Homo-oligomer: A and B are copies of this chain.
Amino acid sequence: MIMGMQGGITVHRPYQGRLFAVEIVNRGAVSREVVRHPGAVLIVPCLEGDRLALVHNYRVAVNQRLWELPAGTLEPGERPDLAAARELEEETGYRASVITHLGDFYTSPGFCDELMRVFTAQELEFVGQRLEPHEDIEVGVVTVDEAMAMIDDGRIIDGKTIAALYLWMRRR
């Protein structure tokens, strides 16, 4: 199936899934296989006393629980700041009065277009987690120093969490 052609570029879509699609992009003799992803939001939830809320989340793709900053996939047409507020509340139970855009990055641009939009959440009020039936997410509150120690000793091995904590530390 040929999806489109522009300036000598042809695009085929051999896989269309629920979350993402796979495209083959051909330009001249060069062919690249890429994942088309709707993008995601990631939240740095800031609590009093220089503390952060993390989630401990079972990840099917890597068959283990990982410590991560809360995050979630953007729904079609959804405003990223509102998605960040929604995901924060669902996953951690905290409702934020202030959501601030911190920056964006691509998670793995060698083969995937997923753009991660990073937000800081402040003035948090606990209203209770709202997980979907298949979600199994534990919340952990750590100091910033503890979060850094978890990166140092390999307890945090989620790249988006490491990158976002670095952006946050540079800009706070």
A residues near B (Cβ < 8 Å) are: 14-15, 17-20, 22, 25, 27, 29-30, 32-35, 37, 40, 59-62, 66, 68, 71, 73, 103-116, 133-134, 148, 151-152, 154, 157-160, 162-163, 165-167, 170-171
Q: How far is the CA of A17 from the CA of B31 in the complex (A)?
A: 12
User: A29: which B residues are within 8 A, CB to CB?
Assistant: 133-134
Instruction: Name 23 interchain pairs, CB-CB below 8 A, sorted by A.
Output: A14-B15, A14-B17, A17-B22, A17-B33, A35-B112, A59-B109, A61-B113, A62-B106, A62-B115, A66-B106, A66-B109, A68-B109, A73-B110, A103-B157, A105-B158, A107-B107, A107-B159, A112-B112, A151-B170, A152-B171, A159-B163, A163-B163, A165-B166
Within the complex, what minimum Cβ distance (angstroms) separates A166 from chain B?
A: 4
Q: Are A170 and B157 in contact, with the CB atoms below 8 A?
A: no
Contact for A108 among B17, B27, B114, B157, CB less than 8 A: B114
